[in-house]
Chain A
Amino acid sequence: MKKYTYTEKKDTRSGFGAGLHEIGKKNDKVVALCADLIGSLKMDAFKKDFPERFFQVGIAEANMMGIAAGLTIGGKIPYTGTFANFSTGRVYDQIRQSIAYSGKNVKICASHAGLTLGEDGATHQILEDIGLMKMLPGMTVINPCDYNQTKAATIAIANHDGPVYLRFGRPSVPIFTDPDQKFEIGKAWMVNEGTDVTIVATGHLVWEAIQAGEKLAEVGIDAEIINIHTIKPIDEEAILRSVSKTGCVVTAEEHNRLGGLGDSVAQVLVKNNPVPQEYVAVNDSFGESGTPAQLMAKYGLNADNIVSAVQKVIKRK
C-alpha cells in the first residue's frame, strides 16, 4: 500500500474560495453569485478584489440560478454559491430549464454537502444531490476529495464549456494531494494499485478509503483505490481496467446509496463486466444532528465500514 500522509486538515470549501479567487484573477469573464452565505462559501476574497463581478442575491436561490443563466447570455462564466441542499433540490426546476436544458455555462458550486454539515441536521444535509444533478442531461458532476483538489477543480471548470455541479463540504479533512495538481474533468486518479479488490471512492471518503487500504494490507488484502472526482462523465475505462484485475468492487460516498457514485459504477459494470459490488453509503435515509465524526460512524461511512465491505465482497468473487 502506497503511503499517504498529511500535515494539515482544511475544509474543501476553502479550496473552492481559493480557486475562485485565483480564476477570478486570470479570467475576467468569471463572475460569482451568492445567496447570503459569503462566509460559509469562502467567497470573501473574490468579493473584495472583484466587487463589480460579485452579486449578492440574498436568500433567493431560484432568482440566483436565473440571474446566473442570464449572465451567460452576455458571455460571462457565473459561479453560484450556496449550500448543496439549496443549490440542487430547492432550485431543481430552475437548473433544469434555465441552465441545463438551455445549455448555459453556469458553475453550480455547492458547499456543506452530505452528513458532515453536522449539527444543523437533516434539513440542511442533502444526500440526494449527486443523483439529482447527474440525471440532468449535459450536467457535469464533480466531487473532489480535499482542499487542493477542490481548488484545482474550481479553476479547471472555468475552461469547461457547459453546466457543472461542483460539490464540497464543511468540515476540515486531511490534505493529501499535490498542491500544484492538474485537474482533468472525467479522468479518475489512481490512488493505489492493487490486485484483490477495487475501492472506488469520491469526496472526502477517498481519505477513508486510504485508511481502509492500510488496514486491509495488514491482513494481506491488496486494495486498488481509485478517486472518482468526476462522477459524470464517469471514467469507465479506469473502472473496467481495475475490476478486470481485481474481480470485485466497493464504492464509497457520502450520499444516499440510491442514485450516487455506487449506482454509476454499477451501471458501468453491468453493461461491461458484472462483478460483485458492495456500497458504502447512507442506506436510503435522512441524516440527523451530531458531530461530523459521530454521523460518519453512525451512518457507516468510515474506513472500518469500507474494510467490512471489502471483506464481504471478496467472499462473493
Chain B
Amino acid sequence: MSADIAKLESIAKQVRRDIVRMVHSCQSGHPGGSLGCTDFFVALYFHQLSRRKEFNLDGINEDLFFLSNGHISPVFYSTLARAGYFDISELATFRKINSRLQGHPTTHEHLPGIRVASGSLGQGLSVAIGASRAKKLNHDDKLVYVLMGDGELQEGQVWEAAMYAPHNKVDNLIATIDLNGQQIDGSTEQVLSLGNLKAKWEAFGWDVLETNGNDMNQLLDTLAEAKNRTGKGKPIMILMKTEMGNGVDFMMGSHKWHGVAPNDEQLAAALDQLEETLGDY
C-alpha cells in the first residue's frame, strides 16, 4: 500500500467514526449511505479536487462538488470539517437546534463548503450542469463533480438533466452514482428497479466508467481516468458500487440502516471496529 493510500484510508476511518458519533449524538440521520460513500468523499476532497483554501460561494477557478442526495450529510460535513472548511468541533452540533449543520445541507446557514441546498432528491445534477455551463462562460477550466444516490434516479428530473448534458456537450462535468442498491423501503430492485444503468447512461450519450467505491486504489484510478476523459465532448458518469454501512459490520448491506441511529451499545460496537486516527471532536 502506498503512503498516499494509507493516509487516505486513515482519514476515511476517522470520517466513519465521525459519522456514527454524529448520528448517535442527535439520534437522527442517515449512517448507512454515509458510511458507504466515505471512501469517495475522502478520495475526492483529499486527493482529486483542485480547490482554493478560502471558501468562495461562486467557486471560480476551482473544482466544485455538489451532493445531490443530501441525506448523507454526515459524510459531507465530516469531510468538509476534516478538509479544513470549518472546525471539527462543530460536528457535535449536527441536527441540533441553532446549528449550521442542518439535517440536510443548506447554504442558508452559510456553512463553508456548501453551495446549494439538497435533500429533496433529483435536483443536484441540474445544478451541477448549470455550474458547469457557468465555468465555460467564464473560461474557467476547472471541473464540476456531483454525487447522486441510486434510489434518487427514480426522480424524473434526473433524466431531464441526463438528456441535456450530452446534447449540449457539457464535458467539464463528472457525475457519480452511489450504487448501494438500497433505499428506505427495501432494495432498489424491489422498490423500482433501475435496470442496466451503464446501457441507459450510454444511450443518453454519457461516457460511463464503473468502479468499486469502497476500494481506495480503484477509486483514485477511476477519478483520474474520469478527469482524463473530460473536454472530449461528453459528460462523464461514474457508476460506483458501494456497500451501505461499509466499515461497521452490523450495518453492512442492510437498507434498515438507511436512516436509523445507533443506540449506545451499537455506537460502542461500531467505534470498536473503527480505530481512531486523527482525534475525535
Q: If the complex has contacts A58-B163, A71-B133, are A66 and B120 also in contact, measured as CB distance less than 8 A?
A: no
| One of B106, B131, B168 near A71 (C-beta < 8 A) | B131
Q: How far is the CA of A157 from the CA of B93 in the complex (A)?
A: 38
Q: How far is the CA of A93 from the CA of B58 in the complex (A)?
A: 23
| One of B58, B117, B156 near A73 (C-beta < 8 A) | B58
Whether B157 pairs with A69 at a CB distance below 8 angstroms is no
- A-side contacts of B124, CB under 8 Å: 66
Q: If the complex has contacts A55-B133, A66-B125, are A74 and B106 also in contact, measured as CB distance less than 8 A?
A: no
- A-side contacts of B156, CB under 8 Å: 62
Whether A70 pairs with B127 at a CB distance below 8 angstroms is yes
Whether B132 pairs with A70 at a CB distance below 8 angstroms is yes
Whether A74 pairs with B60 at a CB distance below 8 angstroms is yes
Residue of A74, A97, A103 most packed against chain B (CB within 10 A): A74
Q: How far is the CA of A104 from the CA of B58 in the complex (A)?
A: 11
B2-18: which have CB < 8 Å to A?
none
Whether a CB of chain A sits under 8 angstroms from the CB of B118 is yes
Q: How many residues does chain B have at the interface if contact means C-beta atoms less than 8 Å apart?
A: 39
Whether a CB of chain B sits under 8 angstroms from the CB of A314 is no
Whether a CB of chain A sits under 8 angstroms from the CB of B199 is no
| One of A60, A64, A71, A102 near B107 (C-beta < 8 A) | A102
Whether A73 pairs with B131 at a CB distance below 8 angstroms is yes
Whether a CB of chain A sits under 8 angstroms from the CB of B57 is yes
Q: If the complex has contacts A71-B133, A98-B123, are A104 and B116 also in contact, measured as CB distance less than 8 A?
A: yes
Whether a CB of chain B sits under 8 angstroms from the CB of A4 is no
Whether a CB of chain A sits under 8 angstroms from the CB of B72 is no
Nearest chain-A residue to B127 (Cβ)?
A70
B83-140: which have CB < 8 Å to A?
106-108, 115-120, 122-135, 137-138, 140
Whether A62 pairs with B160 at a CB distance below 8 angstroms is yes
- B-side contacts of A98, CB under 8 Å: 116-117, 123, 126-127
- A-side contacts of B29, CB under 8 Å: none
A54-85: which have CB < 8 Å to B?
55, 57-58, 60, 62-76, 78
Q: How many residues does chain A have at the interface if contact means C-beta atoms less than 8 Å apart?
A: 32
Whether a CB of chain A sits under 8 angstroms from the CB of B64 is yes
CB distance from B131 to the nearest CB of A (A): 4
Q: If the complex has contacts A62-B156, A101-B106, A101-B117, are A67 and B123 also in contact, measured as CB distance less than 8 A?
A: no
Whether A70 pairs with B129 at a CB distance below 8 angstroms is yes
Whether B126 pairs with A31 at a CB distance below 8 angstroms is no
- A-side contacts of B108, CB under 8 Å: 101-103
A76-133: which have CB < 8 Å to B?
76, 78, 93-94, 96-98, 101-104
Whether a CB of chain A sits under 8 angstroms from the CB of B205 is no
CB distance from B135 to the nearest CB of A (A): 6
Whether B120 pairs with A97 at a CB distance below 8 angstroms is yes
Whether a CB of chain A sits under 8 angstroms from the CB of B153 is no
Whether a CB of chain A sits under 8 angstroms from the CB of B201 is no
Residue of A75, A94, A97 most packed against chain B (CB within 10 A): A97
Q: How far is the CA of A74 from the CA of B133 in the complex (A)?
A: 8
Q: If the complex has contacts A63-B164, A98-B123, A103-B107, are A73 and B137 also in contact, measured as CB distance less than 8 A?
A: no
Whether B59 pairs with A63 at a CB distance below 8 angstroms is no
Residue of A64, A66, A78, A102 most packed against chain B (CB within 10 A): A66
* 22 A-B residue pairs with CB within 8 Å: A52-B137, A57-B164, A60-B161, A60-B163, A60-B164, A63-B126, A63-B157, A66-B125, A66-B127, A66-B130, A67-B133, A70-B116, A70-B134, A72-B134, A73-B131, A73-B134, A75-B58, A75-B138, A76-B134, A96-B120, A101-B106, A101-B117
Q: Which residues on B are within 8 Å of A, measured CB to CB?
A: 57-60, 64, 66, 106-108, 115-120, 122-135, 137-138, 140, 156-157, 160-161, 163-164, 168
Known pairs A60-B163, A74-B137 / 16 extra A-B pairs, C-beta < 8 Å = A52-B137, A53-B137, A60-B160, A62-B123, A66-B123, A67-B130, A70-B131, A71-B130, A71-B133, A72-B134, A73-B59, A76-B134, A97-B118, A97-B119, A102-B108, A102-B116
